[in-house]
Amino acid sequence: MLPTRADFPPGFLFGAATSSYQIEGHTFGGAGVTHWDTFAATPGNVVRAENGDTACDHYHRWPADLDLLRDGNFDVYRFSTSWARVLPEGRGAANPEGLDFYDRLVDGLLERGLKPAATLYHWELPAPLADLGGWRNRDIAGWFGDFTEVIMRRIGDRLWSAAPINEPWCVGWLSHFLGHHAPGLRDIRATAHAMHHVMLAHGTAIGVMRDLGMKNLGGVFNFEYAQPADDTPEAARAAALYDAYYNQFFLSGIFKGRYPDLVMEGFAPHMPKNWQDDFAVIQAPLDWVGLNYYTRKLIAPAPGPWPAHQEVPGPLPKTAMEWEIYPQGLTHFLTMVARDYTGTLPLYVTENGMAGYDELVAGAVDDQPRIDYLAAHLNAARDAIAQGVPLNGYFTWSLLDNYEWSLGYEKRFGLVHMDFDSLQRTPKASYHALRAAFAQG
Ligand code: FCB
């Protein structure tokens, strides 16, 4: 059963999340070329070579999308600002249309009684900065700080919250070690550099926003429950290493001023020069931490160089991403993060949801599996609250079906179905169920 607003503490916030490249349409409004455009244009990287050219055309249809949020009884909307829309070359001249777009979006949220929760960067690096090495180049911290200043001078006065970088693990590891996301590298030195520079850029942006007088600044991190594939000590060690570079690396940097020893066993020879001197910037105090959580992974040892492990398929029911459904992992991470890193700092679940085999039949989408998934994870969040975790809100990924990165438009995560030809929006059964659950009592 879906819990309702009354099952959560007073003031608990319910939200939905999206990101710029996944919904806006990047050929509109003077946006610059991003590394996702070039990645998608390279054969073999993205299903059907799909890109964000049109996406959901949110750039033009945002008023209707914000109406969906208001009518769905959401309190807060987590969106992101495209670096390449604001600064088409990544640096230098700003694009006035881009700034106007986010300005109108923020006002449109406030007019509808919705709290704007901005993420500065959700992966659409301007291509000219990718040419300069992107996240491998230490200078990115300064470029990102400058972008932060330009966009936040315009909208920072009206935001409810802001966070620098969505899911540093994906920016670092997924994109530079596994090569699944732009820029599609598979190189340990690139990875070690990117994972550190992402932290430096995070701290730099927090500093810029503090100097602008902004409040309620946080960080958004993703987590996967790493379960040893069997009960051997080798599998336990493999899972512990996965946990260290996925779930601990960034929080450890920010809250402890050091990176996990297990990760440094592989990274040490590849770290950028004088990285140890950067923690004063990286450790800029935060007002909240956001957790994105979807699944668990079974981890087994594997031959080959560090990290010498592999994922193996698990037995639990799976979503259309082939991700196992494991709500207990959400309770685990909420309690772990509060206990080991954040203490009394407010936590938010900033993303949670599933891709389903959703079909539009006679103008409706019956996505009962999504309702069940959301119910199980909302209840897992309540379990954490019952254990004393200061969890203040929960955001569903995503408001709309959208561009699911290297999987193109095929994986549908939305509460609202998108026809990517007509761009027609159709609220699914899950949208209606959450609207009823989130109604004010
Ligand atoms: C998260 C991303 C988001 C979307 C979901 C499914 O890792 O932040 O953009 O791809 O996964």
Q: Quick check: is 167 catalytic? A: yes
- Mutation test of ligand 1: which of 19, 350, 351, 398 has the most ligand atoms closer than 8 Å to its C-beta? 351
**pLDDT tens digit sequence for 179-220:** 999 999 999 999 999 999 999 999 999 999 999 999 999 999
Q: Are 82 and 24 in contact (CB under 8 A)?
A: yes
* pLDDT in the model for residue 441: 72
The single residue of 167, 224, 324, 404 carrying the catalytic annotation is 167
Expressed in angstroms and rounded, the spacing between residue 234 Cα and the centre of ligand 1 is: 30
Domain range for residue 158? 5-439
Residues whose beta carbon lies within 6 Å of some atom of ligand 1: 19, 22, 166-167, 170, 222, 292, 351, 397, 404-405, 413
**pLDDT tens digit sequence for 211-263:** 999 999 999 999 999 999 999 999 999 999 999 999 999 999 999 999 999 99
* pLDDT in the model for residue 251: 98
* Cα Rg, the chain, nearest whole Å: 20
Please report, for the domain that includes residue 340, its CATH number.
3.20.20.80
Q: Quick check: is 351 catalytic? A: yes
**pLDDT tens digit sequence for 150-165:** 999 999 999 999 999 9
- If you search the block for the tokens 């054969």, which residue do you land on? 43
Average pLDDT, rounded, for the chain: 98
Q: How many domains does the structure of the chain reveal? A: 1
What atom of ligand 1 comes closest to residue 404's alpha carbon?
10
405-423 b/e (C-beta count within 10 Å ≥ 16 → b): bbbbbebbbbbbbbebeee
**pLDDT tens digit sequence for 287-330:** 999 999 999 999 999 999 999 999 999 999 999 999 999 999 99
* Cα 403 to Cα 417: distance, rounded to the nearest angstrom: 13
HEC secondary structure over 265-307: HHHHHHCCCCHHHHHHHHCCCCCEEEEEEEEEEEEEECCCCCC
- Mutation test of ligand 1: which of 377, 404, 412 has the most ligand atoms closer than 8 Å to its C-beta? 404
